[in-house]
Amino acid sequence: MRASRLLTIQMLLQTRGRMSAQALAQLLEVSVRTLYRDVDQLTAAGVPIYAEQGRNGGFQLVEGWKTTLTGFTASESQAVFMSGLAGPATELGLGQQVVDAQLKLMSALPVHQRDGAQRVQARFHLDPADWYREADPVPHLATVAAAVWQDRQLNLRYDSWKAEVQRTVHPLGLVLKAGVWYLVATRDAQPRTYRISNILGAELLDKASARPKRFDLPAYWTESIQRFEAALYQGHAVVQATTQGVKQLRQLSSAVAKAVVAQAPSIQAGETVRLKIPIETLENASYQLLRMAPDVQVLSPVALRRAIAQRLKAIQACYADNL
């Protein structure tokens, strides 16, 4: 407990420069008095920490001094190299920085940990983009990323589904989902999501952005996805599916996959199962389920059966001369 705290103090001073005892104590969730004892221990152990008194004072490491001890365990250092985010980092304009950082980390690791990190680097690669789809062009990503890093307001020209709009937003964070970049930013004090490939123009403003004190990006994103899915699925359909049909349904969407797994966790070859699955609009569901026929047969609602039948008639009309 204490050893890890001592290491944290050292790392904090190394990365942030000068920090007051009050700030360090708050970060480490101990009293200021305890913090002073920890600093004493570090000094006694030979870490060159000195204190500046008075306004803007605090503890600081001697200029240029750094520890070669990274504090990483073998598995932690391997995990860092496994993140393999070189592609997204390049899109953010940070590709070279990632390469440099990995090089520095590698050089700082003890020799016996380097082999493990190199093995991970050679054996794992993360490709966040989906199959069969070109990645969205994101010419304004670097500007948006700069606004996020620097906490500056951003003027956007955005292609919303209604029309082209002009927006001044306060950036909060970036999200990469299935190869698509999104900006989370507040407008009128409300967090909103913008697809970065829909940004037609981005101008970095000199004004500082306002960030809600307790904003939690992962929590916002999870909640936003749940809200989106809840609004997306407007009803249910009951279907009869073969083993092949179940496989196809599981690939349709995460919401459908969840419903299928819950109702038919395992299915034997040759078996058919009756399932209740969430659907979007009748038009969307008829298109999706038609291509799964005859492995997936819609039993209800009648309106969906009718929509599929009409679609089939239209297809038949197209190819009538070949029947």
Partner DNA sequence: TCTCACAAGACGCGAGGAAA
Partner DNA sequence: TTTCCTCGCGTCTTGTGAGA
Tokens of 17: 């420069």
- C-beta of 56 vs 107, nearer to DNA: 56
Separation between Cα atoms, residue 111 and residue 232, nearest integer Å: 52
Residue 149, Cβ neighbours under 10 Å: how many? 12
CB of residue 35 to DNA, shortest distance in Å: 7
- C-beta of 60 vs 193, nearer to DNA: 60
CB of residue 281 to DNA, shortest distance in Å: 57
CB of residue 71 to DNA, shortest distance in Å: 17
Residue 121, Cβ neighbours under 10 Å: how many? 15
- C-beta of 40 vs 203, nearer to DNA: 40
- C-beta of 42 vs 239, nearer to DNA: 42
CB of residue 98 to DNA, shortest distance in Å: 34
CB of residue 68 to DNA, shortest distance in Å: 24
Q: Name the pairing type of β-strands 235-242 and 296-300.
A: antiparallel
313: left (phi over 0), alpha (psi -120 to 50) or beta: alpha
CB of residue 47 to DNA, shortest distance in Å: 13
Residue 33, Cβ neighbours under 10 Å: how many? 10
- C-beta of 40 vs 130, nearer to DNA: 40
Containing 279, the helix (H) or strand (E) segment is strand 272-279
Tokens of 198: 């829909």
Separation between Cα atoms, residue 28 and residue 6, nearest integer Å: 10
CB of residue 4 to DNA, shortest distance in Å: 10
Residue 291, Cβ neighbours under 10 Å: how many? 9
State the virtual CA torsion across 167, 169, 172, 177 in degrees, nearest 10.
0
- C-beta of 32 vs 309, nearer to DNA: 32
- Residue 257 CA neighbour count, 13 Å, CB half: 7
- C-beta of 59 vs 182, nearer to DNA: 59
CB of residue 16 to DNA, shortest distance in Å: 13
Contact 311, 304 (CB under 8 A): no
- C-beta of 2 vs 16, nearer to DNA: 2
Q: CB under 8 Å, gap of 24 or more: what pairs does 36-44 form?
A: 38/2, 38/5, 38/6, 38/9, 39/9, 41/2, 41/6, 42/6, 42/9, 42/10
- C-beta of 22 vs 75, nearer to DNA: 22
CB of residue 45 to DNA, shortest distance in Å: 12
Please give the residue ranges that form the binding site for DNA (CB under 7 A). Answer: 1-2, 5, 20-22, 29-34, 36-40, 51-59
